[in-house]
Chains A and B, each alone.
Chain A
Amino acid sequence: MIKIKAKDVDVFYGKKQALFNISLDIEENQVTALIGPSGCGKSTFLRCLNRMNDVIDICSVKGKILINDFNINDKSCDVVRLREKIGMVFQKPNPFPKTLYENVSYGPTIHGMAQSKQEMDEIVETSLKKAALWKEVKDRLHEPGTGLSGGQQQRLCIARAISVRPEVILMDEPCSALDPIATAQIEELIDELKKEHTIIIVTHSMAQAARVSQHTGFFHLGQLIEHGSTDKIFKNPDNTKTQDYITGRFG
């Protein structure tokens, strides 16, 4: 099943074009990895999918992005609803300077998802459980989220993202600020999450892409050079640039 269909997407920062004619299909309930040297436009593409580029004044996006066959670049698209469906986890853990509980209940509060305190408690608990953080923090839900370790903070951000039951989760280098153990925990988590969510992850680690993803897209200088199943991209790429990048000859 195809969840997201990008068609001829161009992105400009002011006059400078950052993405050229990107067309990419993303499979439901699978993990798609976006790889490529830094500055090639991976984050930019990811931010197109939940219209986060709107926040940047000089950024303009052209082309169609269909999610459930609905073009999110259309004027009639309600960004608030869109972002409820498409969650995002950032490179650097960014918990709000509030308690753990308030961090997780933030989305459900905004979208009016809980009718009672009890319901909210349940949402918070299941989100934290799904993010594999519940055991570590269940006794300190009312302490500030900024007091956790880096890996815990990132899992808190994941809990925050899944609290509104998004269909898609976008992850922009979620492990680049973490140590190997925390990275392994997050990777395990991603594998678990793909049962219920479609996941798109940007990563600079080839090994990570190979471990967690089923599909991979390779970006270079704002172009999508090649995409396909992770197996194929890593074992037998069609394009020599992909080959060079995967074998570490440039990067």
Chain B
Amino acid sequence: MNLILFTFIVLLGFTSYYFGRKKAYSIQSTKKRLTALPQFYGYYLAIWCAIPAFIIFSLWAIFEPTIVKLLILSDYSNQGYLDDELNLIYEKTKALSRGQFTGEITPFIKASAEKYLSLRSIAQSSKAVIVLSIIIASVAYAYKRISSNSRTREPVEKFLNAVLFTASLAAILTTVGIVFSLIFQTIDFFKVIPLFDFVFGTHWYPAKAFVRDSSEALDPTMYSDTFGAVPIFAGTFFIAFIAMCVAIPIGLMSGIYLAEYASYKVRQYAKPLIEILAGIPTVVYGFFAALTVGPFLKELGTSMGLEVSAESALAAGGVMGIMIIPFISSLSDDVITSVPQSLRDGSYAMGATKSETIKRVIFPAALPGIVGSILLGVSRAIGETMIVVMASGLAANLTLNPLESTSTITAQIVVILIGDQAFGDPKTQAAFALGMSLFLVTLCLNIVALRVVKKYREKYE
């Protein structure tokens, strides 16, 4: 029903566009000069169709359920029901009307369900009638009003502006919403677990919190020495560090090669190939790390007489580094290429060789951009989850030995939220606290990175 109505409105929109344009053409044919191109007259009418439709649809979406509910429950008023019971009755009514009700059907509920259905169908048809008549009225009104000197271009541009603004507002509001949901859960978490214990505690053992029976009262002392985040922060930065040790040199060198040394042909093929690396899903990197690199390192280590865990920070970090190579190489290739050719010419003309030019002129000029790309790489390393979960294990050891297994913030969030979760439980809230810390860390990194990149841009434009 709604779909048919919607299609109809869209068709109406196209028709009004057509009529608007047609009227503009006919005005034009009388040798009058229009204030805007004929299309604008068309768009103008289409907007007169879209805006009322949108307003009525949203009003309906907001008020219809409330009004229907009020009408249904008015039958039950003054009978001494509590609010909760009324809500339950309403839910039963709705379920029955959809044929999904499984309990005992009382005559009252049955009557309500019938009433519900008839109310809904009245609502639907009145909506259709109202929408269509208002649209037709508004389009007709606008159609009569447009003339050779009416302003159509400005409203159309304003409308577009508003639509685009709304789109970006939606993105921003979602982010704000996510951050707020993080903040409140995090605050609840720190009501039970002292901030000090979280930041400086060296034992992370959320499994201890799993054994709590949720019917018991919450006893904060039970969680002492459970949520100390030091090991996982250390693990996060340690694995990210290993990853960057792989990614920075290789990425940077391949970026320099692509930008300065590779011939046009090589570059044409090599660049997309490297970018394929960026398109591999991280879960594939994950099992590459867990099933290939991890066992290989273990074997290699054993043959050298070293104790290597099958799930090691080295395997996870190394593979993560490979994953980040394309970011660094591609971004630094871009910044190096955007160093103006005139600087290269200036340096060559002084008798500098290629490597001297790169070392003394191009690299310093591109450095801020390169640092920016590295910071973006770091923030990816810190936020990466799958590789760590699969290849470095879930036990939060506090260690700086790359051959042992460690865990990261992201991996621990997975551990905590897999399986049953109870809201309002410190265990679940711990995930939010971790998410919040992760968000803050990557936010700072990204802000710094963007600042640096921007500063670099300003210098050359």
Question: For the complex, what is the distance from the CA of A170 to the CA of B12, rounded to whole Å?
Answer: 70
CA distance A90 to B348 in the complex (A): 12
24 CB-based A-B contacts, threshold 8 Å? A52-B348, A57-B263, A79-B351, A82-B351, A83-B348, A83-B350, A87-B349, A90-B345, A92-B342, A94-B345, A95-B346, A96-B346, A96-B361, A97-B364, A98-B361, A106-B350, A106-B352, A107-B350, A110-B350, A110-B351, A110-B356, A157-B346, A160-B350, A164-B350
Q: Do A52 and B264 touch across chains, with their CB atoms under 8 A apart?
A: no
Closest to B263 in A: A57
Is B360 a contact of A106 with CB atoms below 8 Å?
Answer: yes
Assess the B361–A107 pair: CB atoms within 8 A: no
Q: Which residues of chain B from 336 to 386 have a CB within 8 Å of any chain A CB?
A: 340, 342-353, 356, 360-361, 364-365
Smallest distance from the beta carbon of A46 to chain B beta carbons, Å? 11
Q: How far is the CB of B136 from the nearest CB of chain A, in Å? A: 63
Q: Is B459 an interface residue (CB 8 A)?
A: yes
A79-B351, A110-B351, A164-B350 given. 18 additional CB < 8 A pairs? A50-B349, A52-B349, A57-B264, A80-B353, A83-B349, A83-B351, A84-B351, A88-B349, A90-B346, A92-B342, A94-B342, A96-B346, A97-B364, A97-B365, A110-B356, A160-B350, A161-B349, A164-B351
By a CB distance below 8 angstroms, the chain A residues around B343 are 94, 96-97
Q: With A and B bound together, what is the CA distance between A90 and B360 in angstroms?
A: 19
Query: Contact between B356 and A98 (Cβ–Cβ < 8 Å)?
Result: no
> With the chains together, A226 CA to B350 CA distance in Å?
31
A81→B364 contact, CB < 8 A? no
In the bound assembly, the distance between CA atoms of A97 and B347 in angstroms comes to: 12
CB closest residue in chain A, given B342? A94
Residues of chain B within 8 A (CB-CB) of A96 are 343, 346-347, 361, 365
Q: Shortest Cβ distance from B454 into chain A, in angstroms?
A: 16
Determine how close the nearest CB of chain B comes to the CB of A199; give it in whole angstroms.
15
Residues of chain A contacted by B352 (CB below 8 angstroms): 80, 106, 110
Which residues of A (166-225) have their CB < 8 Å from a CB of B? none
A52–B351 CB distance below 8 A: no
* Set A79, A84, A94, A146: member contacting B346, Cβ < 8 A: A94
B362 to chain A, nearest CB (A): 10
Residues of chain A with a CB closer than 8 A to B349's CB: 50, 52, 83, 87-88, 90, 161
Q: With A and B bound together, what is the CA distance between A146 and B342 in angstroms?
A: 13
Judged by a CB distance under 8 angstroms, whether A111 is at the interface is: yes
List A contacts of B360 (CB < 8 A): 106, 110
Range, interface on chain A: 20 to 34
Q: In the complex, which residues of chain B have a beta carbon less than 8 angstroms from the beta carbon of A81?
A: 351
CA distance A80 to B355 in the complex (A): 13
Roughly how many angstroms separate A88 CA and B349 CA in the complex, as a whole number? 6
Could you say which residues of chain B place their CB within 8 Å of the CB of A55?
A: 344-345, 348
Interface residues of A (CB under 8 A from B): 50, 52, 55, 57, 79-84, 87-88, 90, 92, 94-98, 106-107, 110-111, 146, 157, 160-161, 164
Assembly CA distance A97 to B360 (angstroms) = 10
Contact B459 A111 (CB under 8 A): no
* B340 contacts across to A, CB distance below 8 A: 94
A98 to B364, Cβ gap below 8 A? yes
Nearest-CB residue, chain B, relative to A92 = B342
Question: What separation, in Å, do the CA atoms of A221 and B346 have in the docked complex?
Answer: 27
Give every chain A residue within 8 A of B348 (Cβ-Cβ).
52, 55, 83
Question: Min CB distance, A186 to chain B, in Å?
Answer: 17
Most buried by A among B344, B346, B364, B459: B346
Docked CA distance A126–B364 (Å) = 26
Instruction: Report Cα–Cα, A161/B347, bound state, in Å.
Output: 10
Contact of B351 among A95, A98, A111 (CB under 8 A): A111
Of all chain B residues, the one with the shortest Cβ separation from A85 is: B351
> Complex: how many Å from CA A84 to CA B356?
14
Q: How far is the CA of A20 from the CA of B203 in the complex (A)?
A: 80
Q: Which residues of B contact A90 (CB under 8 A)?
A: 342, 345-346, 349
A51 to B355 Cα, complex, angstroms: 18
List the A side residues contacting B356 at CB < 8 Å: 110
**Is the beta-carbon distance between A80 and B345 smaller than 8 angstroms?**
no
User: By the criterion CB–CB under 8 Å, are A97 and B264 in contact?
Assistant: no
Q: Which residue of B lies closest to A157 (CB)?
A: B346
Q: Smallest CB-CB separation from B349: which chain A residue?
A: A88
Distance of B13 from chain A, by nearest CB (Å): 52
A107, chain B: closest CB distance, angstroms: 4
Tell me the minimal C-beta distance from B347 to chain A in angstroms: 7
User: Contact mask B145-180 → A, CB, 8 Å, 1/0?
Assistant: 000000000000000000000000000000000000
Closest to B365 in A: A97
CA distance A98 to B363 in the complex (A): 12
- Find the B residue at minimum CB distance from A55: B348
Question: In the complex, which residues of chain B have a beta carbon less than 8 angstroms from the beta carbon of A146?
Answer: 459
